[in-house]
């Protein structure tokens, strides 16, 4: 690992921890993403946060994701994260499941392996955090048991 990669890893660690310390599983390799997604049961819901170091959008996405995942009455069965720019192969593999324009940060909700909801960066950046939370809540209320 070169000096730049080490610096970025250290810089990203608190942003990764903001999710993992709240129960999000960190998927850091293509294999871990495939295994995680292939183990999803048909009626299980999976909430994925594509994390990033972008201050403006990711600084809203992480707390919104954590808040709704913890506080909403209806919650996904599983929660996980990949880190764009850090876990490149994991992120690319997850984006194959999401099948949307690559966007980070972003959030996706699956039922089984079927994408039911996607929030791209442009629906995060520049918005009020309560609006983002309400959008996530609406998706959880519609698709989670």
Q: Out of 54, 79, 80, 84, which one is annotated catalytic?
A: 54
Is 133 marked active-site? no
Is 54 marked active-site? yes
| Burial classification of residue 8, based on how many CB atoms lie within 10 Å of its CB (0-12 exposed, 13-18 middle, 19 or more buried) | middle
Helices (H), 21-128: 30-38, 55-71, 88-98
Q: Out of 11, 56, 101, 134, which one is annotated catalytic?
A: 56
Residues 118-142 as b or e (16 or more Cβ within 10 Å = b): bbbbebbbeeeeeebbebbbebbee
Residue numbers annotated as active site: 54, 56
């Amino acid at each position: 690992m070169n000096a730049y990669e080490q610096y970025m890893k250290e810089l990203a660690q608190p942003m990764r921890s903001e999710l993992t310390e709240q129960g999000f599983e960190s998927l850091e390799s293509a294999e871990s993403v495939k295994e995680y997604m292939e183990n999803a049961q048909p009626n299980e819901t999976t909430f994925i946060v594509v994390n990033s170091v972008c201050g403006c959008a990711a600084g809203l996405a992480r707390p919104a994701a954590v808040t709704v995942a913890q506080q909403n009455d209806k919650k996904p069965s599983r929660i996980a994260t990949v880190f764009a720019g850090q876990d490149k192969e994991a992120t690319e593999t997850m984006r194959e499941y999401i099948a949307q324009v690559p966007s980070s940060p972003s959030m996706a909700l699956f039922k089984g392996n079927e994408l039911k909801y996607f929030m791209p960066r442009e629906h995060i950046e520049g918005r009020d955090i309560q609006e983002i939370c309400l959008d996530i809540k609406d998706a959880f209320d519609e698709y989670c048991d």
